[in-house]
């Protein structure tokens, strides 16, 4: 599974758009990029998954450039409840199964009023 690098922490304010970038230079052809959110003392929660270009759902957008060596999770108009740790993961769900997930250190996002 490809190693990922993301900022250790980020701060922002309510109502702002937050972009968290993840580097994955050795991503393989069959790898997908997945982001999870984790609150203290809870299990991680799936946010979004993509392979290339742009993916959008009701909570976030995921931007992936053509070379796929990085990706950016975009959270529109954050609120205090978005304060959490965000993990970027890269892997081939068809081969290794999504359940064998290697988590990096994650990005601790703090939202202020």
Partner 1 sequence: KAGVTQTPRYLIKTRGQQVTLSCSPISGHRSVSWYQQTPGQGLQFLFEYFSETQRNKGNFPGRFSGRQFSNSRSEMNVSTLELGDSALYLCASSLGPGQGMNTEAFFGQGTRLTVV
List interacting residues with partner 1 (CB under 8 A): 32, 34, 41-46, 49, 51, 87, 93-106
Of 13 and 103, nearer to partner 1 (C-beta) is 103
Distance in Å, CB of 11 to partner 1, minimum: 21
> What does the H/E/C string look like for 47-107?
EEEECCEEEECCCCEEEECCCCCEEEEEECCCCHHHCEEEEEEEECHHHHCCCCCCCCCCE
Of 58 and 113, nearer to partner 1 (C-beta) is 58
Of 28 and 77, nearer to partner 1 (C-beta) is 28
Phi, psi angle pair for 88, to nearest 5°: -105, 130
């Amino acid at each position: 599974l490809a190693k990922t690098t993301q900022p250790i922490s980020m701060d922002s304010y309510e109502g702002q758009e937050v972009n968290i970038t993840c580097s994955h230079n050795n991503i393989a052809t069959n790898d997908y990029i997945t982001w999870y959110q984790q609150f203290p003392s809870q299990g991680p929660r799936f946010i979004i998954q993509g392979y290339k270009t742009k993916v959008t759902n009701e909570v976030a957008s995921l931007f992936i450039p053509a070379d796929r060596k990085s990706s950016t999770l975009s959270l529109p108009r954050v609120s205090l409840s978005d304060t959490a740790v965000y993990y970027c993961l890269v892997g081939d769900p068809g081969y290794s199964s999504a359940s064998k997930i290697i988590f990096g250190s994650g990005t601790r996002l703090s939202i202020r009023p």
